[in-house]
Structure 1
């Protein structure tokens, strides 16, 4: 029997007062998920369990069976792999957001808020080629990477994630990083000048480097579980994880990392991968992005659409027995816009067959259920 993990990023949430305390998951319409619960179970678990930080890289790797000691401290290297680029042992890579700064110098938004997708592409063009010693790589929308020579002080620098820092002084947030690296400091000065034409309505835009990482290997999915694995995804971190684990990766052309992704195409992609893999993960990032924007309605609507266009499609078209888990990786609060290590809904059940009672007391139970050898 094959297995499917439907990972709805940031599925856990806080109660929403205007919905009488319902969370976006509870408010959403999900008859296909409810049907799966009837042939399985629903639980609420913390994937983080207070020993890893509540962010996608560490939580997804845990759900894929990677031991805590092998989980990278930061995820930039994996996002680089997602774009078919690697670094040598003498280089490092940092994540780099296009951030909106208000007139008082505070971080107003971590995601290029106020700019169109075309303007964010223009911002990336303006920042490219500023320095020969720093390679600027545009990923998508506000997401970028920086590649430069390894500096131990930078790798040890704890820059606060921008999505956890909205409202704080941007200069103070990056002070230590700029002091540790003259190259990064100069790069940020020059790119800030180039981005000045995009300023409007009391906001201007600057780059926010963070999450430095170096090259790091991971065991393959087959080495971990003795199974073949595949992933249908768009988000750079998930594609990078899948490539690092040597899994098959499928990205539908109309897939995005937000709520406008082609959900039905991801279902078709998952069906294709299930033909030749024992295990498939399908990742949806839009729920996390909506919560970061405090848009609980968009998050609930996206969960409903995943149920209708993905879960129902799989249930209708996949005819063999299948183990299915639907869960989040961490909590993303639509109230605060931040991640936390609280509990996320976890649905585990069977399609086209019945099975033994499914125990859900920790993330290990998810692994035990999904990673059984193919029947």
Structure 2
């Protein structure tokens, strides 16, 4: 069997006045996804357990069939795996956003979608200055164990290297808030709390002084772009221990994504990764390149998974029109060629679903069910003719908890 999975991140939404009372999935022209619905079945799955944040880290873990109660240790350790960083038993990874804060308001959790190159320059300055061992905000004995590590664009990491005598100061009870949940809101009450939080807050505060007059920020300000005012540290954790898909299902998989979180999950699941030129993790990503890479990978792999961040980014910006456009691009340039490839085979299935809802109205992730559609070999068709939240919710097919869905899809 060949299995295709398409993840339009955060595409589930609510009816919007700007779309005539329709959700983005309903408003978008999705001939391929609707054809898949007509040929197969729709339903809902809940990838956001109420005891966990409604973040992509938990939701995608669930989507891929892993129980977060057993395997989730934080977002940052997953992203560390994407870059080949191995965490020892006393080490810890912390997610590090470059953000724009103005008068205690989270203006932009992406610092204007700052480039990877610019991020690298800013983090290098923080490593040299803030973690020199001489900066008053960070004791020398801690500074030598810390390192800012560049990721992609605004998504970066802080790594702590510990040992038996100096374990990580951050524990599972260290609380933090995702910056994308603070858009346009005050950050005053959302700084880290709990074990190690004093260090995290000190790093965040000191970074503002160091980055304020950095050449990268001066150049961005001169160009009318958002500046990276400081780092925002969140979602710390130690190394997770996931069984691979080969160990669980005897299947070889590959991930196509531009986001380190999904790269990291792929690495932990034992999947290969395909990097597509022009894939950005934003609205301007190379949809066609991802679709073609996925079709080409079908012969080599049992599971081909394509993740597209664009719908989620549009939601975080509150742009329903951009979300509709992203969905239409996914339908035409990714789902279209893959559905053609699946339809031409007698041993293939396709599954499309987001990880979690992201509402344009609130610009935030949300708990709750998301719609799925699957078709192909062995999938019995139901009466649905469209793929959207309403038709999926009315189908009666429900996977809750969501981590039970993947085993059923692969059965």
* TM-score (norm. length: structure 1): 0.89
Matching residue of 2:397? 360
Matching residue of 2:196? 180
The 5 A counterparts of 1:152-167 are 152-167=169-184
Once the 2 structures are TM-superposed, how far is the Cα of residue 278 of structure 1 from its aligned partner?
1.9
Once the 2 structures are TM-superposed, how far is the Cα of residue 42 of structure 1 from its aligned partner?
2.6
Once the 2 structures are TM-superposed, how far is the Cα of residue 347 of structure 1 from its aligned partner?
1.2
Matching residue of 2:280? 256
Report the Cα distance in structure 2 between the residues aligned to 1:84 and 1:365, rounded to whole angstroms: 29
Match of 1:272 among 296, 300, 312: 296
Q: Which secondary structure state, in structure 2, belongs to the residue aligned with residue 209 of structure 1? A: strand
Contact between 2:113 and 2:153, CA under 8 Å: does it hold in 1?
A: no
Once the 2 structures are TM-superposed, how far is the Cα of residue 364 of structure 1 from its aligned partner?
6.4
The 5 A counterparts of 1:221-260 are 221-260=245-284
Report the Cα distance in structure 1 between the residues aligned to 2:31 and 2:354, rounded to whole angstroms: 18
Matching residue of 2:327? 303
Once the 2 structures are TM-superposed, how far is the Cα of residue 151 of structure 1 from its aligned partner?
3.0
Segment drifting more, 1-10 vs 274-283? 274-283
Once the 2 structures are TM-superposed, how far is the Cα of residue 357 of structure 1 from its aligned partner?
4.1
Report the Cα distance in structure 2 between the residues aligned to 1:91 and 1:118, rounded to whole angstroms: 27
Structure 2 gap segments, 5+ residues each: 132-143, 383-395
Change over 3 Å in CA distance of 1:290–1:23 after alignment to 2? same
Report the Cα distance in structure 2 between the residues aligned to 1:289 and 1:44, rounded to whole angstroms: 22
Contact between 1:324 and 1:370, CA under 8 Å: does it hold in 2?
A: no
Matching residue of 2:159? 147
Contact between 1:264 and 1:313, CA under 8 Å: does it hold in 2?
A: no
Aligned length: 368
Q: Which secondary structure state, in structure 2, belongs to the residue aligned with residue 173 of structure 1? A: coil
Q: Which secondary structure state, in structure 2, belongs to the residue aligned with residue 81 of structure 1? A: helix
Matching residue of 2:367? 341
Once the 2 structures are TM-superposed, how far is the Cα of residue 297 of structure 1 from its aligned partner?
0.9
Report the Cα distance in structure 2 between the residues aligned to 1:181 and 1:144, rounded to whole angstroms: 18
2:409 is equivalent to residue 370 of structure 1: yes
Q: Give CA deviations for 1:207-234 in whole Å, capped at 9, x if unaligned.
A: 1101011112110111222222221122
Report the Cα distance in structure 2 between the residues aligned to 1:16 and 1:274, rounded to whole angstroms: 37
Structure 1 gap segments, 5+ residues each: none
Report the Cα distance in structure 2 between the residues aligned to 1:344 and 1:12, rounded to whole angstroms: 6
* TM-score (norm. length: structure 2): 0.82
